[in-house]
Structure 1
Amino acid sequence: MFDIDLPWWEFVVRGVMIYIALLVMMRVSGKRTVGQFTPFDLLVVMLLSESVSAGLTGGDDSVAGGLIVVVTLVALNVAIAFITARSSKAADFVEGTAVLLGRDGKIFKHVLRRNHVAEGDMEQALREHDCPLGKMKYAFLEADGKITILQN
């Protein structure tokens, strides 16, 4: 139960590699993927976690190996939070920045497409903010995937 099949440091290396790979994939997938989970997105996240589990432990089923991976992932998460709180460049890379989707009643459709935002989502955000298109001053896609509308 507590005997590990691999050297302890291999669990750490595996955890770091998979953490970084998943972080990069989440950034590449776009803000909307992170901001609004559909049932399909939830399924993908569940499958991702299952697919990387063997890679994290290298087939080791010991409690100690699992705990080493958990400690590594939590430590990485704390380290990333520490770094992004102190460096705006790191925060921009890890968390992203807001993107201007529209201004003065005009929606930038090419920006919507580039950021994987459906026009229906933009229209929904306008309704949620009780803002007719003509009164929209700015529309932003925030780093967390939400759409913010500022009115005249």
Structure 2
Amino acid sequence: MSDLFVLQTPLFELVFRAAVIYFFLLLAMRLIGRHEFGQLTPFDLILLLIISESIAEALTAGDDSLLAGLVSASTLLLLSVLVSLGQYKSQRIRNIVSPGALKVIEDGKVIEKSLRRELMTYDDLVERLRARGIGGIEEVRIAYIESDGDISALTYRETDRRRAAAAEEEKKTE
């Protein structure tokens, strides 16, 4: 019982290991892309569980004391708070940690370059719009993939559609 609170690994090493793993995962999630984590599929959940299991040993350096786990968890939580605080106070940190919104539809037309950048298929985009109650791409005035991977979209109102159709007809007659 007394071994539960005796560190087998130096405190600094535990903190350092947790920090390295935290920033590695932060970078990996940034590089993977926001669309991957907008909706957690069963595959994504399995992947997250496997990742957490694969880094558990590296996190505590094989130290299975309760204190080592508490130090590692506390370090990760502290880093999370510090990164959040950094994002709040600094635009530069916010840009590094959280990507800005990425426009994927404008005036009812898909921006293919944006889809490629996020490794999102046309079908994925349409499915996510349907989940928002939007029947098709042509109904969307503008849509973004937000930093959390969610899709936000503004649709045309009926009067906007009529106005756009009239403007299109006017261009054809000129």
TM-score range, shorter chain: over 0.9
Residue type matched to 2:34 in 1?
K
Which SS does the other structure have where 1:42 is aligned?
helix
Change (3 A) 1:129 1:149: farther
In structure 1, C-alpha distance between the alignment counterparts of 2:82 and 2:133, rounded to whole Å:
36
The equivalent residue for 2:144 is 140
Deviation at 1:74, TM superposition (A): 0.9
1:116 equivalent in structure 2: 119
Distance 1:45 1:147 in 2: 22
Give the structure-1-normalised TM-score.
0.93
Deviating above 4 A after TM superposition, structure 1's stretches of 4 or more consecutive aligned residues are none
Relative contact order (alpha carbons < 8 A, sep ≥ 6): 1 or 2 greater? Answer: 1
Moved more, 127-136 or 55-64: 127-136
Question: What is the rounded CA distance, in whole Å, between the counterparts of 2:6 and 2:136 in structure 1?
Answer: 64
**What is the percentage of aligned positions where both structures have the same residue?**
34
The residue number in structure 2 matching 1:149 is 153
| TM-score with structure 2 setting the length | 0.82
The aligned residue for residue 15 of structure 1 is 18
The corresponding residue for 2:29 is: 26
What displacement does 1:96 show? 1.2
Paired residues, number: 152
Q: Whose radius of gyration is greater, 1 or 2?
A: 2
- 5+ residue gaps, structure 2, are 157-174
| RMSD value, Cα | 1.3
Question: Gaps spanning 5+ residues in structure 1: where?
Answer: none
